[in-house]
Amino acid sequence: MTKTPFDLSGKVAVITGSSRGIGRASAELLAQLGAKVVISSRKPEQCHEVAENIRNAGGEAHVIPCNICHRADVEALVGGTTRHYGKIDILVCNAAVNPYYGPLLDISDEAFDKIMGANVKSNLWLCALTIPQMAARGRGSVVIISSIGGLRGSTVIGAYGISKAADFGLCRSLAGEWGPEGVRVNCVAPGLVKTDFARALWEDKERLKRRCATTPLRRIGEPHEIAGAVAYLASDASTFMTGQAIVLDGGLTTAAV
C-alpha cells in the first residue's frame, strides 16, 4: 500500500514544551504517524512519563530536558538529538512562558525580557542550530506555535501577544531565507485552548463565557485539535507551504462583532 503524505516514518522530530498540553498532544500524534520524537521540557519526570506512554503505544521517544531560556540547554537539546538519532527533520517550537497577567504598561522589565527571550529568542536559537543541517539534506520543516494573541490586542496578556506577533515575523523571514534550500517554516496560531498554560484565562468563568459567546463554535479548543495542524505542517502533505500561519480558534477571529 502506498504511504500517505502524512506518514512520518523515518523522520526525527524535536518538540519543545512537550511534557503537557499542545506540545504533548503534538508529540503523541507525530509518534503515532511514525516519527521518532524527542520529548523536552524543564521537568524530566514529566518528560519521561510522556515518552513511556508513547513507547507503550508502539512509538519511539527519547527524552532530553531543556529550559529554553538557557542557550546551553538549547544547544544540548539539538546536539543530543543529533548524536542520538543522527539528524533532525522536524522542529516544533512550542515551549513558551507568560509570567505576567495584567495591564501592559505595568509590566516589569524583567518580565518583559523573560517573555521575549523565551518566546522569540529561544526559537531563533533553535532554528539557527537546526535549520542548517536540514538545508544540508535539502529538506526539513519548522513549526512555530504562535497564537492569535499575535493578531489581536489584549488587556491582560499584551506582552505575550507582542512575542507571538514577533514569531510570525520570525517565521516569514526564515521561510524566505531558507526556502531555496528546501526548508519550510510555518506557524500555528491557536486561540484559547484548555491547557495548564492558559488556565488563568479559561478558569475565569465570566471571561470564558464571553469568549465562547463570540466564538462561532461556542467553545474553546483542546490540545489534540491543534496537534493535527502540527502534523500537517511537519509532513509531506504541506510541501508547498511556507511562511504561513494556520489559525485554529473556533472561528473567533472571523466572527462579526
Residue 128 sits in a domain of what CATH number? Answer: 3.40.50.720
pLDDT of 1 > 70? The answer is: no
pLDDT recorded at residue 96: 95
For the chain, list the strands marked E by DSSP: 12-16, 36-40, 60-63, 90-93, 140-145, 183-190, 245-248
Average pLDDT (123-142) is 98
Residues 95-127: tens digit of each pLDDT: 999 999 999 999 999 999 999 999 999 999 999
Residues 203-239: tens digit of each pLDDT: 778 888 888 899 999 998 999 999 999 999 999 999 9
Of 17, 16, 29, 13, which is closest to residue 229 (Cα–Cα)?
29
pLDDT recorded at residue 205: 81
Q: How confident is the model at residue 3 (pLDDT cuts 50, 70, 90)?
A: confident
160 is catalytic: yes
In-domain check, residue 4: no
pLDDT recorded at residue 211: 85
Residue span of the structural domain in which 123 resides: 12-244
In-domain check, residue 150: yes
Active-site pick, 85, 100, 101, 160: 160
pLDDT of 195 > 70? The answer is: yes
- Number of structural domains found in the chain: 1
In-domain check, residue 189: yes
In-domain check, residue 68: yes
Contacts of 80 (CB under 8 A, 6+ apart): 38, 64
Pairing of strands 245-248, 90-93: unpaired
Of 46, 160, 153, which is closest to residue 99 (Cα–Cα)?
160
* Residue 234 CA, distance from chain mean position: 11
pLDDT recorded at residue 202: 64
In-domain check, residue 127: yes
**209 vs 128, more confident:** 128
